[in-house]
Chains A and B, each alone.
Chain A
């Protein structure tokens, strides 16, 4: 029994870390939008799906390889996120963040149905080269790693590195951090909050879209792809501290590994419930999340 457990553990840890790395992108997107606009934008669900389908169109219909397809998965949801925020959510934020949150749920249902209208409910798969899994014998356990998993994780790490460099060293990145930290002070220093808000939506939804496509690369996509992942994304953001970007990365790792380790004791279909449990535990024990709410 115990040796079975030890034998399974390395595989689950590796799977969990890979899942957490991919989860980190939409979690960063969600938390970044929260940091700048101060409301939970539930439209991430449909934008993750949108990213997955934009990548699908580029990859399967236009025959592009994965990396350029990911660019489509970034740009389409990024533009949509910016436009939707400008037209739909921004006027409602004045009424209060909760009204905007309700409208965001309606928005995500509306967009999901636009996707359903065009593509139908069928499962679709990407056009990917088929690789054999790598096997490692650790002595006490055998580890199987798919090259696609590794590639997805590497892409995710590369995108995260770009996000951090952008926020740390560019003028625009510093502006975004300033607004997240203290909007009033940023305004006094002459930073245009509207520009930063648009940038936040653009970047945030773009990252969510890339995350959606990476989630789909592993399996297949349908109009509910984003919605199914959304609980894990919330969990990652809340566990790390809503509004904190490094927190989202830590939270995603915790949730990713936690979901995999839960397989030892729970049925696989309860994986997403683990995210909810993580939210509740963190809210009870450490309401500001692991890294607190500082944006960066």
Chain B
């Protein structure tokens, strides 16, 4: 049970990271990204391929490569769609995540196809007891969340973040004010994608195994749900929302399993249905989330 709770805490941290990434893209810059899971997969695969399948790089280097590769992928996607309305970005990002999954499932020589990659190294895995490994990884995840949270807070409160919010609220006015909107959008998307890829890489090293069917659109919904529940636009909301979503997901595991006479596939169906329904309900009832974004007013120096 303790191990289970620790594992869930790790997953909450990973979802928290992805929610922070989405917050940069959607919460701050106002661009939709329905292909988050694709960036997560790119990150997970990059690090796994470099640390176990095609090379034996040390883990931190693999993770660094994952961050760089996903940032590039994010910048490319943003660049292709930046001049278009949000609808197209929605379609392209959703398509992107599907294509990533297709490539992962079919480039068998490169990614080992649907069999996935196993024996991905984790920090001190094998040298310590599994329970200790779990705790170590929880510590590392918590540290990662803290660092990324601080970086995101810095972005949010800096003039840079102010420009991003201005673009979100009205990109034409921002352009008229002389800001290079295209560059800001591309950078914000790249930063958000990089954070998501970072979470993906950590996921691979924690789980020791990744496979294409692990990267389904439902994960994107989890992350959107986490950010919406916490409060779109606020970084603390993203993290708290992720914890709540993981708690809710795991809670449904026990509640739904207690309903008598359901087959395994039906239990899974009910749980996925509840997650999706909860997101719709939240968007409807409390779109601003638990911690609504407050407008930051910096005190005007007294003129006297």
Spell out A's residues near B (CB within 8 Å): 34, 39-40, 42, 88, 91-92, 95, 97-99, 101-103, 105-107, 109-110, 113-114, 116-117, 120-121, 231, 234-235, 238, 242, 267, 269-270, 272-273, 275-276, 279-280, 283-284, 287
Residue of B nearest to A102 (CB): B224
A102 touches B102 (CB 8 A): no
Question: In the complex, A40 Cα to B276 Cα: how many Å?
Answer: 18
A102 touches B32 (CB 8 A): yes
Q: Which of B72-108 touch A at CB < 8 Å?
A: 80-81, 83-84, 86-88, 90-92, 94-96, 98-99, 102-103, 105-106
B80 touches A109 (CB 8 A): no
Question: In the complex, A39 Cα to B86 Cα: how many Å?
Answer: 9
A39 cross-chain contacts in B, Cβ below 8 A = 87
Binds A, one of B116-124, B150-158, B246-254, B278-286: B278-286
B90 cross-chain contacts in A, Cβ below 8 A = 40, 42, 98, 101
B88 touches A238 (CB 8 A): yes
Identify which of B83, B88, B105, B280 contacts A110 (C-beta below 8 A). Answer: B280
For the complex, would chain B's binding face be called helix, strand, loop or mixed by DSSP majority?
helix
B161 to chain A, nearest CB (A): 20
B91 touches A102 (CB 8 A): no
Residue of B nearest to A107 (CB): B280
Known A-B contacts A99-B283, A234-B95; A109 and B272 likewise in contact (beta carbons under 8 Å)? yes
Q: State whether the Cβ of B128 lies closer than 8 Å to any Cβ in chain A.
A: no
Q: State whether the Cβ of B143 lies closer than 8 Å to any Cβ in chain A.
A: no
Q: State whether the Cβ of B34 lies closer than 8 Å to any Cβ in chain A.
A: yes
B289 to chain A, nearest CB (A): 13
B226 to chain A, nearest CB (A): 13
Binds A, one of B50-58, B133-141, B187-195, B261-269: B261-269
A102 touches B34 (CB 8 A): yes
Q: State whether the Cβ of B64 lies closer than 8 Å to any Cβ in chain A.
A: no
Binds A, one of B2-10, B11-19, B213-221, B235-243: B213-221
A242 touches B276 (CB 8 A): no
A113 touches B273 (CB 8 A): yes
